Chain A
Amino acid sequence: MADATTATPGRAHARPGVAPTPPRRRFVPSYARRDQLTGYLFVAPQVLGIALFVLLPLGLIVWYSFHEWNVLAGTFRWVGLENFEKLVTDPKLAPVMEATAIFSIGLVVFNLALALLLAVLLNRKVRGMTFFRTVFFSPVVVSLVAWTIVWSFLLQDNGGINGILQLVGIDGPNWLREGPTAMASVIVVQVFKNVGLNMVLFLAALQGVPQEVQEAARMDGASDRQLFWRITVPLISPTILLTSIITIVGSLQVFAQIAVLTQGGPGISTTVLVYYLVQQAFDFHHFGYGSTLAILLFGIVLVLTIAQWQLRKRWVFYEN
């Protein structure tokens, strides 16, 4: 195949007294380059989507954080670092961050522990086990708001939970109206909603643990506990990493459950960062400060994800 780019430039049409004009080069991409171009075009819609719906909003959030935007009056005023100064001096931010930390830690620990426990219990070849797996997974596919509304009825002072407790002579607390029980309730409702997903992932990981390794350990005299902690857990550590990242990031994005169950109360004891952010931006119309809080949330998620990713080499089995 002739390649136009290899022709000698300027000779064929050179005339005395006239500066030689370079011949027009016809760009004919090589097969590999055309292949590359095709690839780029295939990923272009996705790249465009990310640019439009992820990168552009991220950029706008940063831009808005330097402004005060009065939506009703239609004013958009540059305020410099004012919103970041407010972030430092906001007396509510400390309790909000505390609530966020309690919620996230409680959710992650309870969720992962329960999911692993359920996976271990359901990882047996017993008749009817599929039914139980379906039962524990089914909340995952239920509408989040519907699930939360049902729980809000159950957790009322005269609701189903206290009704059951009364049958056994226990006077249950007013779950959603008292600080500690309100936070515990929100965590439990969220864990029961999503524990099935992590359970399925753990179940798949457990079924991937080689039988011969376990048998070898048993022959070496390992107890059930040693087998679990020394063999099973290290072998499923990549899944533990995956589920912990998903659960931590998810825990920092919880909004609907708080809005339906407690509206951030009592007081602000269940006002987590996302809920506070939405309140500031959309209820109080402080879009500038809301954007600053969004940057803070983005930073926290980023740092936690990077930290987990870096730490994986220390505790994830396949990363050594």
Chain B
Amino acid sequence: MRSAKALSGLALGAVAALTLSACSGGGAAPDEDIELRMTVWTSNEDHLALFDSIADAYMEEHPEVTDVTFDPLPFEDYTSTVTTQIAGGQAPDLAWILENAAPDFVDSGALLPLDETLEADPDYGFDDLSESATALWHDDSGALVAYPFSTSPFVMFANDSLLAEAGLPSAAEMQAAGDWNWEGVSAAGSTVNAETGKAGFVIRDFDYTTWDNLASVWMGWGAAPWSADGATCTFDSPEMVEAFEFLHDAAFDAMSMPGPGTTADFFAGESAFTVTQISRASLLDGSFEFDLLSLPEGPVGEYSMVGQAGIGVMSSGAHAEAAAEFLAFFTNPENSQQLAQFFPPPRNSQLNVETLAATNPTLTPEQIENVVIPGIEIGVTRPSHTDSAEIGQEVRSSLDALWVEDADIAGTLADTCTAIDPLLG
């Protein structure tokens, strides 16, 4: 009997504890002991070590902030994970935001306007921020709601060793001979494939699913997925049809681009060319001679595409003001200079060979001067739109019909417009 009583008490205690723990949580945010969390999609140890060192320096100056956590989330599900955290009442204080999700975050009012905080410190150099770099991150009232910490151009890496093995001139020689255009790259890729069995050119991370990476090609034809105001689909435009005819030919006839379901890693020496961002230079291991060039010319001539990422402060966070203060410190001129070793900065004063060469040892000053800086200056941001995830899924599933040998290219692109038109309006 006694043991039954004791067990009853124990069980009652367990139930009470569970109930209390389930019902607890939340509460008023204290002014001290502030803990900040920033969601990021990098798990690179060097990146995180740099972030931690900046955060440590900030906490020394601001004892009310006791912890700053950088929370790496998988890149593939990054945006949906952040929104799920927001839905669950666990919004991060600060979040990295991909350019394709920018319109959703900026237009919804989810981000705290930053102008006041950033302009408050005269040493911050708010006016130094590049106008083109910040264009995507202004809300309807014109307020800056995220700091574009990374503005990275898409460039072409070339494997000169593989080109030589196929009996072809180097990429620089192609450029000097006036063959640095998509037709020339496709022809060289076709030869590489025939002579060595390796791949020609690879649009890195496209994998026949991440279709917006193809913008690095179709911009050369002057094509865009939708009109500038985002209201009208232009996938069926003649320019886009021509661009996709080129890509389809490269994948199925010229064999200069790996077909669907075939992988080739440039940095493992498996392809002659790859379009990707300069940050991937860190993957080069010296096993072959490489060169870095601007994107090949298309029918419309020279062009450039940039990928962007911003840091925003979630207005629903418990410590939004403190988070904005930390962001101002994290991105001040000194820390921006440090971050530049991994992320091309949005500050005009730091977009120079000295800064970028010192922090990108893999690249030569000439490559930075001739490729990286012009790429950032004239670069157009990758396509973005509100409801980007749903539009992206519709486009992906529509374009699947295009990646077969006997595809009806114009018909498929028209179908793509039919699929996304209701979402663009």
- Least CB distance, B128 to chain A, in whole angstroms: 30
Q: How far is the CA of A283 from the CA of B390 in the complex (A)?
A: 7
Chain B residues contacting A268 (CB-CB under 8 Å) are 397
B86 within 8 A of A: yes
How many A-B contacts at CB < 8 Å in the complex?
Answer: 106
| A282 and B110 contact, Cβ closer than 8 Å, known pairs A48-B18, A177-B260, A265-B396 | no
- Least CB distance, A78 to chain B, in whole angstroms: 17
Contact status B7-A48, CB under 8 Å: no
- Least CB distance, B151 to chain A, in whole angstroms: 23
Q: How far is the CA of A191 from the CA of B209 in the complex (A)?
A: 26
Question: Which of the 9-residue segments B27-35, B101-109, B173-181 touches chain A?
Answer: B101-109
B83 within 8 A of A: yes
Chain A residues contacting B260 (CB-CB under 8 Å) are 157, 174, 177
Question: Which of the 9-residue segments B8-16, B42-50, B133-141, B320-328 touches chain A?
Answer: B8-16
Considering only CB atoms, which chain B residue lies closest to A287 in the complex? B87
Considering only CB atoms, which chain A residue lies closest to B12 in the complex? A41
Contact status A42-B397, CB under 8 Å: no
Q: How far is the CA of A37 from the CA of B1 in the complex (A)?
A: 12
Contact status B389-A283, CB under 8 Å: yes
Chain B residues contacting A73 (CB-CB under 8 Å) are 108-110
Contact status A156-B263, CB under 8 Å: yes
Contact status A71-B86, CB under 8 Å: yes
Q: How far is the CA of A227 from the CA of B14 in the complex (A)?
A: 54
Chain B residues contacting A287 (CB-CB under 8 Å) are 87
Contact status A44-B11, CB under 8 Å: yes
Contact status A176-B19, CB under 8 Å: no
- Least CB distance, B82 to chain A, in whole angstroms: 10
A210 within 8 A of B: no
A229 within 8 A of B: no
Contact status A41-B15, CB under 8 Å: yes
Interface SS of B by simple majority: helix
Give the most central of B108, B260, B261: most A CB within 10 Å: B261
| A-facing residues in B37-86 (Cβ within 8 Å) | 80, 83-84, 86
| B-facing residues in A29-70 (Cβ within 8 Å) | 31, 34-35, 37-38, 41-42, 44-45, 48-49, 52, 69-70
B22 within 8 A of A: yes
Chain A residues contacting B393 (CB-CB under 8 Å) are 264, 279, 283-284
| B-facing residues in A288-305 (Cβ within 8 Å) | none
- Least CB distance, B101 to chain A, in whole angstroms: 9
Contact status A34-B4, CB under 8 Å: yes
Considering only CB atoms, which chain A residue lies closest to B15 in the complex? A44
A74 within 8 A of B: yes
Considering only CB atoms, which chain A residue lies closest to B258 in the complex? A158
A72 within 8 A of B: yes
Give 1 or 0 for each of A255-299: 1 = CB within 8 Å of chain B CB.
000000001111110000000000100111101000000000000
B259 within 8 A of A: yes
B265 within 8 A of A: no
A202 within 8 A of B: no
| A282 and B316 contact, Cβ closer than 8 Å, known pairs A37-B8, A265-B400 | no
Contact status A177-B403, CB under 8 Å: yes
A175 within 8 A of B: yes
Give the most central of A44, A70, A176: most B CB within 10 Å: A44
B208 within 8 A of A: yes
Considering only CB atoms, which chain B residue lies closest to A43 in the complex? B11
Contact status A156-B390, CB under 8 Å: no
Contact status A45-B14, CB under 8 Å: yes
Q: How far is the CA of A72 from the CA of B403 in the complex (A)?
A: 35
| B-facing residues in A10-36 (Cβ within 8 Å) | 31, 34-35
Chain A residues contacting B15 (CB-CB under 8 Å) are 41, 44-45, 48
Chain A residues contacting B387 (CB-CB under 8 Å) are 284
Contact status B209-A72, CB under 8 Å: no
Considering only CB atoms, which chain B residue lies closest to A53 in the complex? B22
B168 within 8 A of A: no
B262 within 8 A of A: yes
Contact status B104-A72, CB under 8 Å: yes
B401 within 8 A of A: yes
Contact status B390-A282, CB under 8 Å: no
Contact status A74-B316, CB under 8 Å: yes
Q: How far is the CA of A264 from the CA of B400 in the complex (A)?
A: 11
Chain A residues contacting B7 (CB-CB under 8 Å) are 38, 41-42
Contact status A52-B8, CB under 8 Å: no
**Cβ contact of A38, chosen from B8, B83, B261, B396, cutoff 8 A:** B8
Give the most central of A31, A157, A176: most B CB within 10 Å: A157
Q: How far is the CA of A37 from the CA of B11 in the complex (A)?
A: 11
Considering only CB atoms, which chain A residue lies closest to B101 in the complex? A72
Contact status B261-A266, CB under 8 Å: no
Contact status A265-B397, CB under 8 Å: yes
Contact status B87-A69, CB under 8 Å: yes
- Least CB distance, B200 to chain A, in whole angstroms: 14
| A175 and B261 contact, Cβ closer than 8 Å, known pairs A41-B15, A267-B397, A284-B387 | yes
Give 1 or 0 for each of B376-398: 1 = CB within 8 Å of chain A CB.
00000000000101100100111
Considering only CB atoms, which chain A residue lies closest to B81 in the complex? A282
Give the most central of B18, B259, B260, B400: most A CB within 10 Å: B400
Q: How far is the CA of A73 from the CA of B108 in the complex (A)?
A: 5
Considering only CB atoms, which chain B residue lies closest to A266 in the complex? B400
The 3 closest A-B pairs by CB, nearest first: A157-B261, A41-B11, A72-B108
A contacts, CB < 8 Å to B: 31, 34-35, 37-38, 41-42, 44-45, 48-49, 52, 69-74, 155-159, 174-178, 263-268, 279, 282-285, 287
15 of the cross-chain contacts (CB-CB < 8 Å) are A38-B4, A38-B11, A48-B19, A72-B83, A72-B108, A156-B263, A158-B262, A158-B263, A177-B208, A177-B403, A266-B400, A267-B398, A282-B80, A282-B84, A285-B104
Q: Give me 12 other A-B pairs in contact (C-beta within 8 A), A38-B7, A265-B400, A282-B80 excluded.
A: A34-B4, A34-B5, A34-B8, A35-B4, A41-B8, A72-B105, A73-B110, A74-B110, A158-B262, A178-B404, A263-B396, A283-B393
